[in-house]
Chain A
Amino acid sequence: MPDKRLLILAAVALAVAAAFMTVGLRGNIGFALELRAVRLLTLIQVGVAIAISTVVFQTVTANRVLTPQIMGLDALYLFGQMALVLTLGSVGYVALDPRLKFAGESVLMMAMALMLFLPMLRRRFDIGLLLLTGVVLGVLFRSLAMLVARVIDPNEFAVVQGSSFADFNTVRPDLVAIGLVVTIVAGAIIWRLRHMLDIVALGADSATGLGVDWTRALAGLLLLVAALVAVSTALVGPVTFFGLLVVALAERIIDSRRHRLLLPAAMLTAIIVLLGGQMVLQHMLGGAATLGVVIEFVGGLVFLAMLITTSKR
């Protein structure tokens, strides 16, 4: 019964969240709780945004070893950020309202994602070409961002450097609210489209035959993915393999690719892994390693394992 598995996942996620809020509380309880609540919200929405965007991206590309980040979507976001610093200067950049900045960067990124990926996805590329294009685009945007970093003042560079590495510890209270809105709205739209996503997974021809307007559906889904990637990148920085890890895990757990099961399962798995991982590192290992590094390491291993098993088949 897959529904039972979802319930178990939900129960585990709740338990982990409760433990995250309460384990090792000391000192000013009220203050600590408030701090933890903001971090909890951050981690949950980052997990949800990455999980959902990865599921949708994999469905659209008909490819289970892809994440939007492997295709360089987050590099696109960082490049936008660098370009903004270059044009405004660090003083102007810091002076900008972070929410306005976030909105500007997101819109820029969504427009560029649509321009770059829609023509490619309309005729489904085979996996090799798709991966190659993504990696090349990712390198291109990272290099462009590096170039901009070299051109700008070292002080200005310090401002943006912080946002180009995955960081699950720094909390951005200024962006939590707007991120929450974007995640909830995009998540709700995707949930309403869950049946259509099952059809989209069949490919362009079958989906068109069953009454899906392929180009429109693709453009809409790509915009949603871009918005969600913008949220997670703005909040914790680029994470390449986390989505792959949780979606692969969720798929194993519920043994289905149907979106009404996979979407919630991936969401819950992401929450469990993020909160649980953060707790283990913080309380048991005394913050010896950063969660970002651990997750990317495990996720990278999963990515390699999936590449090897799929090429064997």
Chain B
Amino acid sequence: MIEIKNISLRLGDTQILEDVSLTMPKGGLTALVGPNGAGKSSLLSLIARLQPLQSGSISVDGLPVDTTPSRRLAKTLAILRQDPAVASRLKVRELVGFGRFPHQRGRIDDNDLRLIEAALQQFGLTDLADRFLDHLSGGQRQRAMVAMAFCQGTDYMLLDEPLNNLDMLFARQLMRDLRAAADKDKRTVIVVLHDINHAAVYADRIVAMKAGRIVADGAPAEVLQPDVLAQVFGYDMDVIDVGGAPLVLHHR
């Protein structure tokens, strides 16, 4: 379970997050949505202890993120940042293998090799495994980063806009993989999404943020209402029903 209690974040004169409290039980797929600058990424990086907490408290599986040793947390929680800087002269297989670092501190055994190959296969990277990352397209690199996060094998996965740069085929595939990770492996997945229709189909729960606050929280059918969407994104959009799932016509 992830417990977020009364956290606020100020950077300079800007209030990024204001008194956010949120509880996410173990299991399931939660989508964070909201306009640019709503504080979604900041919330994610605070949960993943990438930024120091200014006020309030966050715990993951009972481990307070500000005092638990980083290495201990890395076995429980994986984070994929938006646009991570990638070291050069690194092969895809090596990067994916780094996901095993929290468990092995660099000594890769047979079990790790199996997990690495499985992750490569799962994200369609087997043919690219020995290519250098700086020779790949943005989408291929993104897939390698996601594969590394999967390979970390943690109960909790936080992904910041993982669909960035992915084509439709791989975007759909990734959402299905995340769904499978939640259903089959009982992992807890929290994902920042801009494509609200992906959230509508694959998420169990949608948390909508705006200006550093949570403005709506519930099942997709509850959150994806015209009035709620207008409040969050600032313009009116139609929502139609397609086979029991809401489809937001946000582009018209």
User: A and B: partners?
Assistant: yes
B94, A258: Cβ atoms closer than 8 Å = yes
The docked-state distance in angstroms from the alpha carbon of A5 to that of B12 is: 51
The docked-state distance in angstroms from the alpha carbon of A192 to that of B211 is: 46
Tell yes or no: A195 within 8 A of B by CB.
Answer: yes
A257, B98: Cβ atoms closer than 8 Å = no
Tell yes or no: A205 within 8 A of B by CB.
Answer: yes
Nearest-CB distance from A180 to chain B (Å)?
28
Encode A165-208 as 1/0 by CB contact (under 8 A) with B. 00000000000000000000000000000111011011111101
A212, B70: Cβ atoms closer than 8 Å = yes
Tell yes or no: A153 within 8 A of B by CB.
Answer: no
Neighbouring B residues of A210 by C-beta, 8 Å? 74, 98-99, 101-102, 152
A62, B48: Cβ atoms closer than 8 Å = no
Nearest-CB distance from B12 to chain A (Å)?
14
The docked-state distance in angstroms from the alpha carbon of A209 to that of B48 is: 7
Tell yes or no: A156 within 8 A of B by CB.
Answer: no
Neighbouring A residues of B206 by C-beta, 8 Å? none
Neighbouring A residues of B73 by C-beta, 8 Å? 211
Tell yes or no: A255 within 8 A of B by CB.
Answer: yes
Neighbouring B residues of A203 by C-beta, 8 Å? 84-85, 87
Chain B residue with minimal CB distance to A254?
Answer: B89
Known: A209-B50, A210-B98, A210-B101. A202 touches B78 (CB 8 A): no
The docked-state distance in angstroms from the alpha carbon of A199 to that of B84 is: 13
B106, A194: Cβ atoms closer than 8 Å = yes
The docked-state distance in angstroms from the alpha carbon of A195 to that of B71 is: 14
The docked-state distance in angstroms from the alpha carbon of A202 to that of B81 is: 12
B70, A211: Cβ atoms closer than 8 Å = yes
Nearest-CB distance from A217 to chain B (Å)?
9
The docked-state distance in angstroms from the alpha carbon of A206 to that of B167 is: 24
- Residues of B within 8 A of A (CB-CB), count: 32
The docked-state distance in angstroms from the alpha carbon of A257 to that of B50 is: 25
Tell yes or no: B45 within 8 A of A by CB.
Answer: yes
The docked-state distance in angstroms from the alpha carbon of A211 to that of B78 is: 9
B106, A205: Cβ atoms closer than 8 Å = no
The docked-state distance in angstroms from the alpha carbon of A195 to that of B102 is: 11
Interface residues of B in 66-97 (CB under 8 A from A): 69-75, 77-81, 84-90, 94
Tell yes or no: B105 within 8 A of A by CB.
Answer: yes
Chain B residue with minimal CB distance to A310?
Answer: B88
A257, B88: Cβ atoms closer than 8 Å = yes
Chain B residue with minimal CB distance to A194?
Answer: B106
Tell yes or no: A251 within 8 A of B by CB.
Answer: yes
B105, A256: Cβ atoms closer than 8 Å = no
Neighbouring B residues of A202 by C-beta, 8 Å? 84-87, 98
Determine which of A62, A208, A209, A213 lies in contact with B87 in the assembled complex, contact meaning CB atoms within 8 Å.
A62
Given A195-B107, A211-B70, A213-B70, 5 other A-B residues pairs in contact with their CB atoms under 8 A: A198-B94, A202-B84, A206-B85, A257-B87, A257-B90
A sample of 24 cross-chain residue pairs with beta-carbon separation below 8 angstroms, ordered by A number, consists of A195-B101, A196-B105, A202-B87, A202-B98, A203-B84, A203-B87, A205-B50, A205-B84, A206-B85, A208-B49, A208-B70, A209-B48, A209-B50, A209-B77, A209-B78, A210-B99, A211-B73, A211-B74, A211-B75, A211-B101, A213-B70, A251-B89, A255-B89, A256-B89
